[in-house]
Structure 1
């Protein structure tokens, strides 16, 4: 037998959702009083003589009222004043009244957070998808995924509350116990739903087919919302899907539930900074704090809603505490999780629920991934630290992603935020043998540095040295080398820093040496000065003057070309020259003087740059350095051009061109090619200054002739700009426009917005 019309009226009136948002509801009040008393759920339950589950149900609204004796015991345990005791008793009485129709109040929707903040984009998306069809049309199944503590349940409840007017037949909430040892079975779930939606339903055999048939009959044409919280598997969700009709099902799960079809997926990330700070401000509204303090607290909480709530409640419930004091405690990484894990509803507890679901391999990999130096990593690093094959590592990574303990990043990589990393480190210290951890760390460090050396050597001119055999990485071209070095930059740099701390000085020097040619191909990385600072210090520890000169030169280059810190570049160049001269190394003396001349020229110290530029030419010539001498001549030409000594500048540049094009004096092919391009670009610059437009066009056109090695972006732009200027001065606007449009395409492809805007302006002013 099903519900009568009279029963339906009662159920509908109770389930409209109006009474779910009262600010003085028992749950929020009890939680606030408990936090003010600085008690965990377990402590309060023990003191009051009630179960943890009873308190948990009261706080989250699953149980709306409690017996007077239970409330008295809780009040005694809290030690609250008479006024607060009276308020608590009144809230319990009101809850008992709302819950008097027991069958009608089965599976109540928890009260939404009164300070719910953010997630506007997700709520709008759900509202649009649900409200896009006719009132009686079928609604999508909404699946909310995300890591522990991300706010899946609160978003589901908030969405259900907002959508309640569209679903007047009731709103129901079921905890599927997805992380428990025995999750709710489909049969038990449907039984609960049937009894909640239609209490008058008679008994039926507890077979799944019978329960499913009964549920579909009961839910047919019902405009209801069902929130299935904490789903364990697809079977639970499929069972609760009405066969047809306008019911809305919102599912939350840490698992991806990839097997579900026809669902609207909403994947949550940590809150954006502005929303995270706004939530923290809401929670601590009565405790004024500096915005900078709240912003830093939110950052230390990894913008995770659960962590923000724990931190905010700690601050809000303790009058003697300040935001600055809490910030100081949380700034200590070793103490941060303890601050955010006050009880079983804290951050560590939330993480542990997922961690406990993992296989042994999954747990080991989760712990070991905390050894990675960067914020992201790939399957190869996972295979190194485990250790295991790449295939096994990929399976374990999938398991971690499925349970929300890892997030997918770009290019088949994974990441976890700072709090999950801290939790992984904690479990690593507690669960792993220290010798095994040390061995895993050493494996990772050595693998990263070995691979970095091999990758870097692909950029050494005509390198023919045998390469060590690589494990877990395929680097068979310059493109593959660059892809690995850029993707793993945080990791190999972290390994390099650790090697320096461990006193592996020769190792540090070897890595930096292998990368110095590559560094010219990734100028905007921003950390080359740190790499070469480490190698310069390592060379000093090795007491090797030549190595110090070499790596101080690289350091000067980094400050000059990567950071535009020319004074610093000059100082390091002078130090490099000191050690080179003490070592009697003319080649390094030449490089040091050239670095010095570059830095002085960049500061417009033209006269001061002339002498080191000339010395660089002399030392390279004396050393018989075929690669360095043409570059030094080009550098000298630049200084002379800056001094308006244009013919002398052209003489120096043309001498460089002669050296790189004569087989008897030319350096290796790859160096000769790029030196030729550079020389012609600088010659064209002089021709443009001298208004010798035809010569400028010829110089650039020769430099741009097809070659198997592509011209680097910045060189190509500079050449085309000079030729466009020359064409325009010659009145040949069509080829000038062609060159400018080519420049614009290159800049847009490289996301060079400022350069592209300048080029567009030139095009606008170019006569037709």
Structure 2
């Protein structure tokens, strides 16, 4: 199930939540889910979101929001789920992929079962429908459609609850219904069907006075609030209750009651201790249901997630629904101190627990399994099979009776079992806080921030929180802040998470010890890798195996719950990473270094190929380093779109890996040098300045250590470029002067030219045109002397910025025209897109508005194709102004709205305020994030007759 609206709007891909931070995205997705597999027109979406009070830019806002939704889906492997159809959009999602669709199907099945008189099936299907609810439908969605849709969904929920209650009453289970119906009537005091059900349940439970009291309250409320009398059904039931009509008596119970056990059989009560203060897991308990639903349920999750505690707690809640007994066994599937129990051992225990004499227990598993099924036939027994290793261990233990329920807990999902599955992991923050508060409530209340840090270090795992709580109980003077400080040290964190017989390390170790030697060695090597997530190609390079073999090993590690999978990505949660690091010690030294060099080569080879796709023909310094083709070509990148997606996905991992190896030996440390040089165009264009800056600082440090002035000059040049873009102009000059000095010492004319070009732009921003012109002339001369046409074009385009600030537009256009001729000839399309945007600014300043639109169109297409979001907003801004001057107010506002959306996504507040000004909206004045608007751009707008400043 991917799409959920019966609660907060949520989307998941392969069990991993897809972030939907924008309320509008959640609102649109919710509407599409409610109309899944049907075409939704843009007008319908506008009406749904704004209810007839839409802004003029509604259509463009819908377009931008749907594009962002599609982007989020693509990043998680869901590329075709929002399809464009004639007239609108369709969410390609069959009913089983949406909770609303599944709810409708289960409710329909429950009604069909009721019509054919199958009351147990009616209850089972209604329970499955109700278990899909997670709270208020469309929670948090404030769009116009939400109120009506929410009312309709909750009406269906109430219908399911009433249907279930009717079936339970017909089965004679009125006692267990009374608390449920009481809560429902409190929430819906005027819903006559519910009130009648509660009255009947109370009467059948021998509580006639309470039943009549409910009736009087209903009459009073109905008269007071609506001035009406109750309906005929209510009146008839009330009269029958008052007269003690025998027709109201409970039918013979259909559910099995405590009965005479045949042949000396007993009703076992083997459930383990239920923690009285069990905390959290409300969502999972709701999914399990409030009564025992026949069938098999597997609770699966990693070590320390609290699977056993959840199963035991739920079993105690519903044990009254299983009057023929409850069987429990720890299968020891992942017990480091004992072998897993065999099915025959478990069957013998269960048979003895049911009263079968030891001499009557068969010697073979098949016969014992058949005997168990015979004994359970027609009985209502709950079986809890804890800590199962695999499906083969469980299957012989399953009853044949449809009235029995089985709860299995396992670290593995046991996918070959015909069962429903409930996945658990770390607790939600609010539940984790309550659990920690069970041990140190006063300290949690006093220092909530420290409590959050402690829980973060515990990965929100119940076992780790319990160990931490035990430590707090043992030391009443230990503050949460002090404990958080101790847990912050990764070297001792697992030691701290061990008290008496509770230890996170031991729990993890059970899964590790169950691995075969090859998988155990592979897991240890993962401990060398300090990244957030990785794919099969990265693992293949690290392990020096083919990708298919890596995928098989990854499957084994996922099955053992030592790593987590989301789509085609894998990760270790923080505590498991520390556990892996301990086992990585066996791969220290040359073996570990060689493995990391292979990984660096895989990463860097993909970066280089991706950069060539984004900017064909770009010369990369040090391309011969870390270039072993066995690893450099492991990741396929068929086109520009694939390269952009890979860069965005791997960006945090590449930076983290560069940070890890920067202080390592040569050649491993050169990864940081080459990565920042190869990723500069992508990081700058996509607006990831913090990552770019960090890589440059790492590279400068590595270059200094290796004595490589060329690499240091490139790193310093990029640091200067970042400082200039962020408005730190004096600092930029200092950094760029150092870069120029280094490039001259290394005798690198091309690097000198690039540094001079950045210096010239900085002097332009500082209002020193003479220095700027001198630097530009020197840069162009150096480029021409080297004969590097592509770099010459780049320098010519940079020189045009200077002439634009001097309002010498004819000269600027000449430089840009020559630059574009070279860039198109050299197929340097990413850079050509930037220059087209720049040219549209020159044309705007000259009042050539139709030409502005044409240049901006071309530039915008290229920038979007290659992922340059920074120049995307500039192109949209220029085109909006041009349309405004051409009298096309609709297109002008659409472009301004799209520009606003891009700027907000990039957190470029000064630029965002420019677009807001075109839309007549007030600026944001309490947020100074984002880069200053370049001087040349404000001059162009002023020349166009729009003296808009970012702070107006």
Q: Same fold, TM exceeding 0.5?
A: yes
Report the alpha carbon displacement of residue 435 of structure 1 after superposing the two structures with TM: 5.0
**What's the counterpart of residue 524 of structure 1?**
688
Q: Judge conservation of contact 1:634–1:652 (CA < 8 Å) in 2.
A: no
Q: Judge conservation of contact 2:800–2:816 (CA < 8 Å) in 1.
A: no
Report the alpha carbon displacement of residue 217 of structure 1 after superposing the two structures with TM: 3.4
Among 526, 535, 540, which residue is 1:378 paired with?
A: 535
Mapped partners of 1:510, 1:526: distance in 2: 18
Report the alpha carbon displacement of residue 254 of structure 1 after superposing the two structures with TM: 1.2
**What's the counterpart of residue 282 of structure 2?**
120
State the Cα deviation string for residues 96-130 of structure 1 (Å, max 9, x = none): xxxxxx99685522233233322222222222xx7
State the Cα deviation string for residues 368-392 of structure 1 (Å, max 9, x = none): 1101121222333333343433333
> What TM-score results when the alignment is normalised by the length of structure 2?
0.60
Distance 1:658 1:446, change over 3 A: closer
Task: Give the stretch that moved more between structures: 196-205 or 270-279.
Answer: 196-205
Report the alpha carbon displacement of residue 566 of structure 1 after superposing the two structures with TM: 5.5
Among 151, 166, 186, which residue is 2:306 paired with?
A: 151
**What's the counterpart of residue 296 of structure 2?**
141
**What's the counterpart of residue 473 of structure 1?**
634
Q: Judge conservation of contact 1:112–1:157 (CA < 8 Å) in 2.
A: yes
Mapped partners of 1:490, 1:415: distance in 2: 13
Residues 620-631 of structure 1 mapped to structure 2, 5 A cutoff: 620-625=779-784, 626-628=789-791, 630-631=793-794
Residues 263-662 of structure 1 mapped to structure 2, 5 A cutoff: 263-285=419-441, 290-410=447-567, 412-429=568-585, 436-449=591-604, 452-453=607-608, 455-459=610-614, 461-462=616-617, 469-471=629-631, 473-475=634-636, 477=638, 479=640, 480-502=642-664, 504=666, 508-524=672-688, 526-543=690-707, 545-561=709-725, 568-580=731-743, 587-596=750-759, 598=761, 605-608=765-768, 610-625=769-784, 626-628=789-791, 630-632=793-795, 634-635=797-798, 637-638=800-801, 641=804, 645-646=806-807, 648=808, 650-662=809-821
Mapped partners of 1:729, 1:255: distance in 2: 64
Among 310, 315, 330, which residue is 1:175 paired with?
A: 330
Q: Judge conservation of contact 1:586–1:622 (CA < 8 Å) in 2.
A: no
Mapped partners of 2:529, 2:490: distance in 1: 16
Report the alpha carbon displacement of residue 487 of structure 1 after superposing the two structures with TM: 4.2
Mapped partners of 1:736, 1:469: distance in 2: 50
**What's the counterpart of residue 229 of structure 1?**
386
**What's the counterpart of residue 412 of structure 2?**
255
Report the alpha carbon displacement of residue 304 of structure 1 after superposing the two structures with TM: 1.5
State the Cα deviation string for residues 179-227 of structure 1 (Å, max 9, x = none): 3554233333334334435679993534434433332333234344322
Q: Judge conservation of contact 2:790–2:826 (CA < 8 Å) in 1.
A: no
Mapped partners of 1:327, 1:707: distance in 2: 46
What SS does the corresponding residue of 2:388 show, helix, strand or coil?
Answer: coil
Report the alpha carbon displacement of residue 313 of structure 1 after superposing the two structures with TM: 0.2
Q: Is structure 2 residue 838 aligned with structure 1 residue 682?
A: yes
Mapped partners of 1:141, 1:748: distance in 2: 51
Q: Judge conservation of contact 1:688–1:696 (CA < 8 Å) in 2.
A: yes
Q: Judge conservation of contact 2:659–2:698 (CA < 8 Å) in 1.
A: yes
What SS does the corresponding residue of 2:271 show, helix, strand or coil?
Answer: coil
Q: Judge conservation of contact 1:283–1:316 (CA < 8 Å) in 2.
A: yes
State the Cα deviation string for residues 124-158 of structure 1 (Å, max 9, x = none): 2222xx76xxx8xx634211111111111111122
Mapped partners of 2:613, 2:855: distance in 1: 30
Residues 24-35 of structure 1 mapped to structure 2, 5 A cutoff: none
**What's the counterpart of residue 212 of structure 2?**
none
Report the alpha carbon displacement of residue 159 of structure 1 after superposing the two structures with TM: 2.1
What SS does the corresponding residue of 2:875 show, helix, strand or coil?
Answer: helix
Among 163, 179, 182, which residue is 2:318 paired with?
A: 163
What SS does the corresponding residue of 1:265 show, helix, strand or coil?
Answer: strand
**What's the counterpart of residue 347 of structure 2?**
190
Mapped partners of 2:863, 2:599: distance in 1: 39
Mapped partners of 1:529, 1:445: distance in 2: 20
Q: Judge conservation of contact 1:613–1:632 (CA < 8 Å) in 2.
A: no
Gaps of 5+ in 2: 1-175, 177-263, 922-952
State the Cα deviation string for residues 328-385 of structure 1 (Å, max 9, x = none): 4333222221221234431111112111111111111111110112122233333334
Q: Is structure 2 residue 849 aligned with structure 1 residue 693?
A: yes
Q: Judge conservation of contact 2:800–2:812 (CA < 8 Å) in 1.
A: yes
Task: Give the stretch that moved more between structures: 314-323 or 491-500.
Answer: 491-500
State the Cα deviation string for residues 653-694 of structure 1 (Å, max 9, x = none): 31123312556xx685233x4555434423433554565534
Q: Judge conservation of contact 1:122–1:266 (CA < 8 Å) in 2.
A: yes
**What's the counterpart of residue 8 of structure 1?**
none
Residues 713-732 of structure 1 mapped to structure 2, 5 A cutoff: 713-732=869-888
Cα RMSD over matched residues? Answer: 4.2
Mapped partners of 1:492, 1:155: distance in 2: 39
Which stretches of structure 1, 4 residues or longer, exceed 6 Å deviation after superposition? 102-105, 199-202, 464-467, 704-709, 740-744, 748-765
Mapped partners of 2:855, 2:646: distance in 1: 36
Report the alpha carbon displacement of residue 473 of structure 1 after superposing the two structures with TM: 0.4
**What's the counterpart of residue 239 of structure 2?**
none
Report the alpha carbon displacement of residue 498 of structure 1 after superposing the two structures with TM: 4.7
Report the alpha carbon displacement of residue 718 of structure 1 after superposing the two structures with TM: 3.3
Task: Give the stretch that moved more between structures: 698-707 or 147-156.
Answer: 698-707
Q: Judge conservation of contact 1:633–1:652 (CA < 8 Å) in 2.
A: no
Report the alpha carbon displacement of residue 427 of structure 1 after superposing the two structures with TM: 2.8
> What TM-score results when the alignment is normalised by the length of structure 1?
0.72
Distance 1:690 1:141, change over 3 A: same
**What's the counterpart of residue 55 of structure 1?**
none
What SS does the corresponding residue of 2:420 show, helix, strand or coil?
Answer: strand
Q: Is structure 2 residue 374 aligned with structure 1 residue 217?
A: yes
Mapped partners of 1:293, 1:697: distance in 2: 55
Residues 33-52 of structure 1 mapped to structure 2, 5 A cutoff: none
What SS does the corresponding residue of 1:696 show, helix, strand or coil?
Answer: helix
What SS does the corresponding residue of 1:174 show, helix, strand or coil?
Answer: strand
Distance 1:140 1:733, change over 3 A: farther
State the Cα deviation string for residues 716-746 of structure 1 (Å, max 9, x = none): 45334432332233223465577679879x9
Distance 1:564 1:196, change over 3 A: farther
What SS does the corresponding residue of 1:284 show, helix, strand or coil?
Answer: helix
